A and B are shown apart, each in its own frame.
With several copies, the nearest count.
Chain A
Amino acid sequence: MPELNLVQAVNQALHQAMEEDRRVLVLGEDVGLNGGVFRATEGLQQKFGAERVVDTPLAEIGIIGSSIGLAINGFRPVCEIQFDGFLPSGMDQILCHMGRMRNRTRGRHTVPMVLRCPHGGLIHAPEHHSESPEAYVCHTPGIKVVCPSTPADAKGLLIAAVRDPDPVVFFEPKLLYRAAKGEVPQEPYETPIGKARQARVGSDVTLISWGAMAHTCLKAADMLDKEGVSAEVLDLRTLTPLDLDAILASVQKTGRALIAHEAPNMGSWAAEVSALISERALLSLKAPVRRVGSWDIRMPLFRLEKHYIPDAERVLRAAREILAF
């Protein structure tokens, strides 16, 4: 199998999705000739033309709102919001409309669209380019939220998202765009939305995460291994709907759960996962669930970001605490 990095896998998924369904459109800022600022849409306009791969005006309400309209009108728009920090300027369409249209119209109008958005930090980007806004979207009914951590999952989940009859917000960990490499099957395939991935089998503690932080957890698991601790690593991949069965099964086995993520900790999606575990597996817990997130302050400019976003050491420290509980 060919080896691709994550952005190449995204790019291949988009090529194949556009090939297999003429209704699929790609729109956003700089997605055309420039191929996207991360090259995720590279070659699409050359191949599918400027009618199907569209550089829009610089307007996020317009990008998301018109995508909703296109989806209602029978198309399969895949829009790109260039950075996580710019999602809020189109937030109204996400919170008030994207996930509601099907229910409001009793199923007559649906919104089969994908909103792609880079996610997370640690690439020394300017301010507002390293955010992790998943909690805002996950709290909003009617939307599915995906955040892969491997090239193979990125491709399979993106193809599944484009084929999905409902809106999917697809977060792409920008740190992994080039850093994450792996074998990716050439032909189109789906990775099921709503299923977590057991990234590492273990028995003493379950490290739960998504996106770039899944790799941080794997690194921490190796460190724990040296300390004689067997850590299981769960890569959620889909944030809503959550794969609760996989989470509970693992925690019932290990008795200890740690959730690592990049967003400010309070009110994060990790809080939901932590709450669900304690609410539903209380008697299996040998120690309190532990969350390791970014500090509850604005992300500093990049020179300090490595002290803001949890690294393997911080995950390790927290794991040690609950192991010693």
Chain B
Amino acid sequence: MPITSADRSRTERIEILSPEGVRDFSIPVDLPADQLLSLYRKMVEIRLFDERSVKLQRQGRLGTYPMILGQEASQIVPASCLKPKDWLVPTYRGQGAYYARGMRLRYSLLYWAGDDRGVKFPDENNDLIFAIPVGSHLTQAAGLAWGEKLKGQGGVAMAYLGDGTSSKGDFHEALTFCAAMKLPAVYIVENNHWAISVPREKQSAGKTLAQKAWGYGAFGVQVDGNDVFAIYKAVSEAVTRAREGHGPSVVECETYRLSHHTTADDAGRYRGSAEVEAWRGKDPIARLKIYLERENLWDADKEARLQKDAAAALEMEIQAYEAFPPPNPLDMFSENYAAAPWHLIEERAELQKILETKTGEENLPVLPPAEGRFP
């Protein structure tokens, strides 16, 4: 036949738990109650952290902070599909992913207060610091996955990225490597519809972001990113595929950034409230709560206790964060090379001399008003 079909593809979209909290049981998801409840708790806890962090920033007790409000499911669930020794590479909007892996919130606060000591992950984990230049972590994740393949013990690397970041050439080269070499990698595209002020439509004329996967010969699927069950099903299957040597996947979680891009941003400048309100109605936590209650797995008392415990635990983390002694400026000279070359020894000595002339002004830095300062 002169005009033949060289290849065809179809990108699926998975929805299991409706915004009204109704679960479609026709799609089997192997998610036991205790696990489901622990996901719910983490989502509630991280939302509390998110709200509190914004307050701290407004009070000048924290630096610029990127909110995850509305993305709790796409943050918590994918990372929860990993084993500690699997690699996790989130984005700067990744407090949820790190928290799902057991990172202590005091360190997240410390990091966003501009303190390098905040880069502290549980020792037993393989968590990587995120990259601020968006997308630049994606080929690194491919390298981590490559290493896991060479080790041959079924390890996996998971990287998060945003809808805007899927436009970067880094995404292309990372997926090209992973698919061509069948690397055990899972890429979670958190499509929250906005890249600062640029809407999803302007990033790609493609109907979905997941369908980019096909071009590389990788697996791609789109899910309701506010639906714990859909995310869990798609991501755990992707992780299994990776572990079993079937190559990389792209899981697009369609969610929404309910808040500003960061505390330095004013979303009111570029989007209407109608869209935001519509998405509030699809809240990932609310719908799961309704489901859990209907299934008699949850009730008002449990909720009240969770809120109380979470608030108390968070308070402790905030106190621990603010109790950190000021950083020693000389620390910046450690860990640049395994052994410091002459010029760094010289420069460190110079800084030391300078510091000796200065007097203790090392409290929490006075933070600038955020308005339009930086995203």
- A301 with B115, Cβ < 8 A, contacts A107-B335, A129-B374, A295-B333 known: yes
Chain A residues whose C-beta falls within 8 Å of the C-beta of B264 in the assembled complex: 37
Contact, CB under 8 Å: A104 / B129: yes
Contact, CB under 8 Å: A295 / B351: yes
* Best-buried of A129, A245, A304, A317 by chain B (most CB within 10 Å): A304
Chain B residues whose C-beta falls within 8 Å of the C-beta of A69 in the assembled complex: 139-147, 157
Q: Of B64, B342, B347, which is within 8 A of A126 by CB?
A: B64
* Best-buried of A88, A96, A240, A301 by chain B (most CB within 10 Å): A301
Contact, CB under 8 Å: A102 / B196: no
B245 at the interface (CB under 8 A from A): no
Q: Of B113, B118, B373, which is within 8 A of A125 by CB?
A: B373
Q: Of B64, B136, B146, which is within 8 A of A96 by CB?
A: B136
- A70 with B204, Cβ < 8 A, contacts A59-B177, A302-B114 known: no
- A65 with B197, Cβ < 8 A, contacts A295-B332, A298-B336 known: no
In the bound assembly, the distance between CA atoms of A40 and B354 in angstroms comes to 37
Chain B residues whose C-beta falls within 8 Å of the C-beta of A93 in the assembled complex: 136, 139-140
Contact, CB under 8 Å: B114 / A124: yes
Q: Give chain B nearest CB distance to A230 CB in angstroms.
A: 24
CB-based nearest A residue for B367? A124
Contact, CB under 8 Å: A57 / B375: no
Q: Of A57, A67, A92, which is within 8 A of B204 by CB?
A: A57
Contact, CB under 8 Å: B195 / A65: no
B279 at the interface (CB under 8 A from A): no
Chain A residues whose C-beta falls within 8 Å of the C-beta of B170 in the assembled complex: 61, 65, 89, 92
- A194 with B115, Cβ < 8 A, contacts A37-B375, A69-B140 known: no
A-B CB pair tally, cutoff 8 Å: 264
B2 at the interface (CB under 8 A from A): no
B150 at the interface (CB under 8 A from A): yes
In the bound assembly, the distance between CA atoms of A131 and B61 in angstroms comes to 24
Q: Give chain B nearest CB distance to A172 CB in angstroms.
A: 13
In the bound assembly, the distance between CA atoms of A166 and B338 in angstroms comes to 7
In the bound assembly, the distance between CA atoms of A92 and B133 in angstroms comes to 9
Contacting residues of chain B (146-192) with chain A, CB-CB under 8 angstroms: 146-148, 150-151, 157, 164-165, 167-170, 172-174, 176-177, 180-181
B281 at the interface (CB under 8 A from A): no
In the bound assembly, the distance between CA atoms of A305 and B336 in angstroms comes to 16
A86 at the interface (CB under 8 A from B): yes
Contacting residues of chain B (188-213) with chain A, CB-CB under 8 angstroms: 195-198, 202-204
CB-based nearest B residue for A97? B136
Contacting residues of chain A (32-69) with chain B, CB-CB under 8 angstroms: 32-35, 37-39, 51, 54-62, 64-69
For chain B, which range describes its interface: under 10, 10 to 19, 20 to 34, or 35 or more residues?
35 or more
CB-based nearest B residue for A142? B336
Q: Give chain A nearest CB distance to B109 CB in angstroms.
A: 12
In the bound assembly, the distance between CA atoms of A82 and B141 in angstroms comes to 23
Chain A residues whose C-beta falls within 8 Å of the C-beta of B374 in the assembled complex: 37-38, 83, 123, 125-126, 129, 174
Contacting residues of chain B (306-358) with chain A, CB-CB under 8 angstroms: 327, 329, 331-338, 341-344, 347, 351, 354-355, 357
CB-based nearest A residue for B168? A59
Chain B residues whose C-beta falls within 8 Å of the C-beta of A75 in the assembled complex: 147, 150
Contact, CB under 8 Å: B133 / A85: yes
Chain A residues whose C-beta falls within 8 Å of the C-beta of B344 in the assembled complex: 295-297
Q: How many of chain A's residues have a CB under 8 angstroms from any CB in B?
A: 89
- A66 with B113, Cβ < 8 A, contacts A58-B195, A125-B64 known: no
Selecting from A148-156, A207-215, A251-259, A306-314, the interface stretch reads A306-314
Q: Of B120, B142, B333, B337, which is within 8 A of A166 by CB?
A: B337
- A51 with B337, Cβ < 8 A, contacts A93-B139, A96-B133, A295-B332 known: no
In the bound assembly, the distance between CA atoms of A163 and B277 in angstroms comes to 46
Contacting residues of chain B (92-128) with chain A, CB-CB under 8 angstroms: 92, 111-121, 128
Chain B residues whose C-beta falls within 8 Å of the C-beta of A39 in the assembled complex: 372
Contact, CB under 8 Å: A66 / B116: no
Contact, CB under 8 Å: A68 / B64: no
Q: Give chain B nearest CB distance to A93 CB in angstroms.
A: 7
B228 at the interface (CB under 8 A from A): no
Known: A58-B203, A303-B365. 15 other contacts (CB 8 A): A32-B197, A39-B372, A54-B181, A57-B204, A59-B168, A61-B139, A74-B147, A92-B133, A102-B338, A125-B64, A126-B374, A164-B338, A166-B338, A304-B332, A308-B332
Q: Enumerate chain A interface residues (CB-CB to B < 8 A).
A: 25, 29-30, 32-35, 37-39, 51, 54-62, 64-75, 77, 82-83, 85-86, 88-89, 92-93, 96-97, 101-110, 123-129, 141-142, 144, 164-166, 174, 194, 240-242, 244-245, 266, 295-298, 300-305, 307-308, 313-314, 317
Pairs across A and B, CB under 8 Å, 11 listed? A34-B270, A65-B170, A72-B143, A73-B144, A73-B147, A83-B374, A295-B351, A297-B333, A301-B115, A307-B355, A308-B332
User: Which are the 4 A-B pairs with shortest beta-carbon distances?
Assistant: A69-B143, A65-B139, A73-B147, A241-B341
